Structure 1
Amino acid sequence: MMGNVWRGSESEVRPFGSRRAGWAVGAAVGALAVGLFVPETSALAAGPTLAPHEAVYDLSLSRAQAGGVVGANGLMNYKLENTCAGWTMESRTVLNLFYAEGGRMETEWEFVAYEGKNGEDYSFYIRNSRNGQVDEILEGDAQMDGKGGKAHYKRPEDNTVALPEATLFPSAHTLAIIRAAQEGQRFVAKTVFDGASKGGAGLVTAFIGKELGADTVPDSADPLLKTPSWPMTIAFFSPKKGNDGEEGTGVPSYEVKVRYHDNGVAQEMEQNFGFFSLDSKLKTLKALPEPDC
């Protein structure tokens, strides 16, 4: 889910108000489990699987505080592909934000990542642009083992940060919260790394609502949507310490309300940044071929 959500750089968010404490989402639909991520050849094989797909979402303003953002429109494109040994995720969001005092700002967020199904390997490239000018690029890779892991950033500067034991990458996290929903759990809290913050991994919590059966989807809907789903509220906390949301205390950076299907497809989303919220409505959905592994 994580790679499927527009997060925006900190410089893009701050003009609308103070940045709320607490991961600024991500698939997001990309990128959300109970316990350590395990290889697909073991227990995971009997659990949820991610359907390779490509989705386009219309973005619009759903709520805003007075005196800030008065309008928004844009598109979010998301693609998830299965490569047998892992997943590749691509997301591109173009968002126009309109201000009460006049003027418009166009932001663009690009996310490309590869994640090994063994939960050990991850690589990422993220580019934030504002009004046609590149604002920030984050690029690097990460590795996990049974005792923890580390993330190595190549850009914006060479840096290595430690990752706590049991840190999940985006697709593993998506599978995790879906598995928890299938098991009837109502709350999941996990440490997640996607590369979108220079600070490393951050806490992500998920409140899971009552299951919605396949019969709640119209007969004319895409087959990918004719599966059980759950409404969820997912909160992303900053990896920074202190007043920015250490260990989930304080206010998250933002929250996402999403209807997640058991195959990893997000039917609808609302992203709440505190001082404004965005609606993400599914516009087009296409299944992608499974690999011949």
Structure 2
Amino acid sequence: MFKLRLVTTLLASVAGLGSAFAAPLLVPHRAVYDLVLDQATDRSGITGLQGRMVYEFNGNECEGYTVTFRFVTQIATNDSSRVTDQQTTTFEGGDGNSFRFVTKSFVDQALDKEIRGEAKVEPDKLDVEIQQPSAQSLSLAKSQFPTRHLMEMIDKAEKGETFYETSLFDGSDDADKVMTTTVVVGKKTAAPSDDPELPAAPGLAKDQYWPVEIAYFDTGKNDGEGLPEYRTSFKLHENGVTRDLVMDYGDFSMKGKLVNFSLLKPSTAACDKPK
């Protein structure tokens, strides 16, 4: 299965982060992206790719944040074609210290893998408890979870920071490692009037965005090459919405175009923060 990490899968050190910046207002929303092949080397064997990704973000600082997404691709090679379907649901505590995750991966409609577990930030490490496919307890390097890192990333962008290194745990793959990431943030800019994604989200037409590029490195891999496992790039709005995605896996890359966007109704529950 292809690894998939959206903009919401970025992070850094947790210590003191709750007071390090004011949490930005991330809007609950649903975004649909059409996926197409960008480029592929002969070594990849891929001759065609198309698919769709559906992403939903909801929650707030008091209740925590829920992300669900489904990532379906049809990949063609010289002698075969297959459909992969990744379905993920995560919940992250509003304080950024707890994380639950479930990912089911299907190949041609048959279940290929299911990963289910939870993680908790401790003073000097990250404790991970995996329930499926088999019970396992792991102690990993201290890291953050996706939504918390998105908040930090917007904060750094607002302050004009253009390059930094972070770490990430998002429960993907076998949920057994922390990724090191390098993040490059470009100058905030406005979308041109002929931006091809704006018809799907006219409400974003007046909102500026940052162009962002991220490289992901396996901290436990020592192959001497120093190359990232993969890269992503996208346009990031200050409310947490991302679009114009590119996911580069080395031998091939794909593009994700925003084709449908809607705001979700925010929670009306009372939010009493400790003083």
**TM score, norm. by length of structure 2:** 0.87
Distance 1:175 1:194 in 2: 15
Counterpart in 1 of 2:273? none
Change in CA separation of 1:37 and 1:287 when aligned onto 2, cut-off 3 Å: farther
Q: Superposed, which structure 2 residues align to 1:49-128 within 5 Å? A: 49-66=25-42, 68-83=45-60, 84-99=62-77, 101-128=78-105
The answer to whether structure 1 residue 287 and structure 2 residue 267 are counterparts is: no
Distance 2:204 2:58 in 1: 15
Query: Structure 1, residues 220-252: CA drift from partner, whole Å, max 9, x if none?
Result: 643245323111111122243322x8xxx7111
Find the partner of 2:139 among 162, 184, 200.
162
Counterpart in 1 of 2:4? 25
Query: Structure 1, residues 40-76: CA drift from partner, whole Å, max 9, x if none?
Result: 6x554x3422111000000000101126111111100
* Aligned residues: CA RMSD: 2.3
Structure 2: runs of 5 or more not aligned:
271-275
- The residue type paired with residue 90 of structure 2 is A
Counterpart in 2 of 1:228? 208
Counterpart in 1 of 2:162? 186
Query: Structure 1, residues 179-227: CA drift from partner, whole Å, max 9, x if none?
Result: 1111111112111111113322111221111111377787864324532
Counterpart in 2 of 1:240? 220
- 8 Å CA contact 1:33–1:178 kept in 2: the answer is no
Distance 1:164 1:238 in 2: 12
Distance 2:185 2:266 in 1: 29
- 8 Å CA contact 1:85–1:117 kept in 2: the answer is yes
Distance 2:108 2:245 in 1: 25
Find the partner of 2:111 among 134, 143, 159.
134
Counterpart in 2 of 1:205? 182
- 8 Å CA contact 1:37–1:168 kept in 2: the answer is no
Q: CA shift at 1:117, angstroms?
A: 1.4
Change in CA separation of 1:216 and 1:189 when aligned onto 2, cut-off 3 Å: farther
Q: Which runs of 4+ in 1 moved over 3 A?
A: 37-40, 213-221
- 8 Å CA contact 1:34–1:188 kept in 2: the answer is no
- 8 Å CA contact 2:9–2:168 kept in 1: the answer is no
- 8 Å CA contact 1:124–1:195 kept in 2: the answer is yes
- 8 Å CA contact 1:256–1:272 kept in 2: the answer is yes
Count of aligned pairs: 263
Counterpart in 1 of 2:14? 36
Change in CA separation of 1:276 and 1:25 when aligned onto 2, cut-off 3 Å: same
Distance 1:30 1:224 in 2: 19
**TM score, norm. by length of structure 1:** 0.82
- 8 Å CA contact 1:38–1:119 kept in 2: the answer is no
Distance 1:266 1:143 in 2: 27
Change in CA separation of 1:33 and 1:104 when aligned onto 2, cut-off 3 Å: closer
User: Which secondary structure state, in structure 2, belongs to the residue aligned with residue 242 of structure 1?
Assistant: coil
User: Which secondary structure state, in structure 1, belongs to the residue aligned with residue 116 of structure 2?
Assistant: strand
Distance 1:136 1:225 in 2: 40
Distance 2:252 2:261 in 1: 27
- The residue type paired with residue 150 of structure 1 is D
User: Which secondary structure state, in structure 1, belongs to the residue aligned with residue 218 of structure 2?
Assistant: coil
Distance 1:153 1:267 in 2: 32
Distance 2:95 2:131 in 1: 23
Q: CA shift at 1:262, angstroms?
A: 0.8
User: Percent identity among equivalent residues?
Assistant: 28
Q: CA shift at 1:34, angstroms?
A: 6.3
Distance 1:217 1:229 in 2: 15
Structure 1: runs of 5 or more not aligned:
1-8, 14-23
Change in CA separation of 1:128 and 1:29 when aligned onto 2, cut-off 3 Å: same
- The residue type paired with residue 235 of structure 1 is A
